[in-house]
Amino acid sequence: MNFVALRMLTGDRAKYLGLIFAIAFSTFLLENQTSIFAGIMRRTGSQIEDVTDADVWVMDPATKYFEETKALKDTDLLRVRGVPGVEYAVRLFKAQPVARTSKGNFSAAVMLGVDDATLIGAPRKILLGSWERLREPDSVVLDQAGYNLLFPGEPLEIGRTLEMNDHLVRIVGISDASAPFASFPILHARYSEGLTFLGRERSQMSFVLARPKPGITPKELTRRIHDATGLKARTRNEFRWDCIHYYMENTGIPVNFGITISIALLIGLVVSGQTFYLFTVENLKQFGALKAIGVTNAGLIGMILLQALTVGFIGYSLGTGMAATFFEIFSHKMATRGIILMWETVVGVALLMLFVVIAASLLSIRRVLVLEPAAVFRG
Amino acid sequence: MKLPSSIDAVRCRDLQKHFGTGEAQVHVLRGVNFSARAGELTFLVGPSGCGKTTLISVIAGLLDPAAGEVELFGEQTARLSPAERVLFRRRNLGFVFQQYNLLPALTASENAAVPLLAAGVKHAEAVDRARALLVKLGLERRLNAMPRELSGGQQQRVALARALVHEPRLIVCDEPTAALDHATGESVMELLSGSAVHPERAVIVVTHDNRVFRHADSIAHMDDGRITHIEQRTPALREN
Ligand SMILES: Nc1ncnc2c1ncn2[C@@H]1O[C@H](COP(=O)(O)OP(=O)(O)O)[C@@H](O)[C@H]1O
Ligand SMILES: [Mg+2]
């Protein structure tokens, strides 16, 4: 009876297309919004993710997330180095100077000061120039998106200058640092130099980056550092999640996305569920005839499930295709780079849509099962 | 002339059926005794509302009687489980409805093949058998037409093919000509008596169209929930 079920389904073209559209539309919205939401949340920890040379982040207990830090004392670095199991520990500072170009463009930027000796704390990849050249006086590495922002329409090249707090600095490299939460340019400089660019005397050590000795897990090291120094120590992954949780709890972003996602969910459930249900109700007479002819209840359930799963599958595939196309286009754009269709969303929405079509078909199945087959004799 | 009851394909004894409860209860079947023989065309006639449709629904196993029994080919259908009853119906019954009840999304051949498909016959074979039957019923030019492209008479012929395709032992037709004009109704009736009647098959036709009575082998008259009398027609009478 599969054939009959599918023909019944496609026979009513308007409803069939309506169902597919409703499911495709809500699939697209759900996948799109959840992926963008996850991508934005992920950006809150971009600069943490970029540091691959150290697994443990040490900070003042008052520091809750990456953007807002309470400075550590210089002695804290030595105390961390003194904790057994620490292979090495280096300092990192983070500040938000305003960078200006000679043409007068300017933008607030994220400035990261990395360890003078080892340059630990800088992302590995560089597009132009080299990290080593940070050792030259008055030098910075700028990320590509920041470059495009500050020097719009100009080709990528090193040697240009920026001015920060009356200091003229030269760009010696262009990095592809992960997109930060607020789309500010990312500047890397040596720790000691970065401080002078900011015109500050006082030490501004924001973090200590540490790496455990072989055989010690980062998690274990965070425990040891905390016990020994009273400072807050987090593994890279924990700290990224701290940032995500901070934004989830302290901004309107989750609510905003939550509304869109709920609407998409509601449309998915209500429109496709109801359209499918109406489809069955309008076909009750046909189901009644099939019942009289001797199609078993199992056969009828099979037909309805097949119809529901078919529209569900086609709609979901279309919606996912649309979402994939969307991200294919936008993940290559500078402003939205790194925001991708996450497989978790694709799987999650698949399960959700499965739930929607099964829920819709259960109502339909109920209607058909209680249908009195003798009703076929009555007009 | 009374034939031995052993050849009765359908036998109903003292059937009772009511709808609703309390004040609103209607007693529709009030002790129906009825039988139909294999190889014959049995008409069930009577005024509108007298219980004809209810009776054939009970016979076909689509409704349960309140009391009394139905025996089809020696089988007491009340003894079958609901699931067995569905399978029994699928194997042994064919239906023709007043409103045709074809599936609008299927072609004529596919519609006629539905009972075979329901029984699990392969699609190609089922449709082939349905086509052969439609050709016999004069629809060779409309095999792939959709129901909405067919006239009422053509649709009823497709419905007839659907009732016959799985070679059931009992066919029940509820007012098969009521929606058709006289000439078309007449030709459908011709086909029904010509192709449905078979020595091992009983055919029950509910109608109140007396223009087609001459096709009947026997006519059971029903009124107010009872069979009032049975007219037996001889083959000679039937011819006219
Ligand atoms: N499902 C039902 N519920 C309530 N009353 C019904 C139902 N089916 C039939 N009836 C009533 O039973 C009586 C007989 O109906 P029916 O068997 O359809 O008569 P006929 O086919 O002879 O015209 C009518 O009065 C009708 O209203
Ligand atoms: Mg009736």
pLDDT digit string (tens) for A33-85? Answer: 999 998 888 888 888 888 888 899 999 999 989 888 888 988 999 999 999 99
A-chain residue closest to B165, CA distance: A293
B69 within some domain: yes
B118 within some domain: no
- Alpha-carbon distance of A64 to A239, in angstroms, equals 9
Ligand 1 atom with least separation from CA of B225: 14
What is the ipTM metric for this complex? 0.91
Whole-number pLDDT of residue A331: 82
| Contact between A64 and A246 (Cβ < 8 Å) | yes
| Contact between B57 and B19 (Cβ < 8 Å) | no
Please state the domain count of chain B. Answer: 1
User: According to the 3-state scheme, what is the secondary structure of chain B?
Assistant: CCCCHHHEEEEEEEEEEEECCHHHCEEEEEEEEEEEECCCEEEEECCCCCCHHHHHHHHCCCCCCCEEEEEECCEEHHHCCHHHHHHHHHHHEEEECCCCCCCCCCCHHHHHHHHHHHCCCCHHHHHHHHHHHHHHCCCCCCCCCCHHHCCHHHHHHHHHHHHHCCCCCEEEEECCCCCCCHHHHHHHHHHHHHHHCECCEEEEEECCCHHHHHHCCEEEEEECCEEEEEEECCHHHHHC
Is the Cβ of A374 closer than 8 Å to some Cβ of chain B?
yes
- Residues in chain A, overall count: 379
Dihedral (Cα; A14, A18, A19, A24), 10-degree rounding: 140
Q: Which residues of A touch B162 (CB under 8 A)?
A: 293
Within 255-294 of A, beta carbons closer than 8 Å to B belong to 285-286, 288-290, 292-294
Q: Tell me the per-residue pLDDT of A131-151, one tens digit each, with 9 for 90 and over.
A: 889 899 999 999 999 999 999
B147 within some domain: no
A-chain residue closest to B54, CA distance: A374
Within 70-129 of B, beta carbons closer than 8 Å to A belong to 83, 86-87, 89-91, 93, 95, 97-99, 101, 103-106, 110, 114-115, 117-119, 123
B156 within some domain: no
- Alpha-carbon distance of A312 to A11, in angstroms, equals 17
Q: Are strands A106-108 and A98-100 parallel, antiparallel or unpaired?
A: antiparallel
Which residue lies with its CA nearest to atom 3 of ligand 1?
A: B19
The whole-number average pLDDT for the span B111-133 is 96
Q: Do B103 and A289 touch (CB under 8 A)?
A: yes
Residue A171 has pLDDT above 50, yes or no: yes
Residue A177 forms beta bridges with which residues? none
Q: Do B56 and A290 touch (CB under 8 A)?
A: no
Q: What single letter denotes the amino acid at residue A268? A: G
Q: What single letter denotes the amino acid at residue A115? A: D
b/e B20-48 (16+ beta carbons within 10 angstroms → b): eeeeeeeebbeebebbbbbebbbbbbbee
Closest residue to A293, CB basis, from B57, B90, B106:
B90
| Contact between A112 and A141 (Cβ < 8 Å) | no
Q: Which residues of A touch B98 (CB under 8 A)?
A: 377, 379
Q: Which residues of B touch A1 (CB under 8 A)?
A: 117-118
B234 within some domain: yes
Å from CA of A272 to ligand 1 middle: 37
- Alpha-carbon distance of B185 to B207, in angstroms, equals 11
Q: Tell me the per-residue pLDDT of A212-249, one tens digit each, with 9 for 90 and over.
A: 999 999 999 999 999 999 999 999 999 999 999 999 99
Q: Tell me the per-residue pLDDT of A264-304, one tens digit each, with 9 for 90 and over.
A: 888 777 888 888 898 899 999 999 999 999 999 999 999 99
pTM comes to: 0.81
Å from CA of B49 to ligand 1 middle: 6
Binding pocket residue ranges, ligand 1, CB within 6 Å: B 19-20, 26, 28, 48-54
| Contact between B52 and B63 (Cβ < 8 Å) | no
Q: Do A374 and B118 touch (CB under 8 A)?
A: no
The size of the A-B interface in CB pairs under 8 A is 84
CA angle B227, B229, B231 (to 5 degrees): 125
Within 296-315 of A, beta carbons closer than 8 Å to B belong to 296-297, 299
B79 within some domain: yes
Confidence of residue B211 (pLDDT cuts 50, 70, 90): confident
- Alpha-carbon distance of B32 to A115, in angstroms, equals 102
Ligand 1 atom with least separation from CA of B206: 21
- Note down the domain range covering B36: 8-100+168-238
User: Which CATH number belongs to the domain containing residue B226 in this structure?
Assistant: 3.40.50.300
**Which residues does A119 contact at the CB level (< 8 Å), separation at least 6?**
A131, A132, A134, A190
Q: Do A290 and B97 touch (CB under 8 A)?
A: no
B1 within some domain: no
Q: A124 versus A297: which is more confidently predicted? A: A297
Q: Tell me the per-residue pLDDT of A189-208, one tens digit each, with 9 for 90 and over.
A: 999 888 888 766 566 789 99
Whole-number pLDDT of residue A200: 63
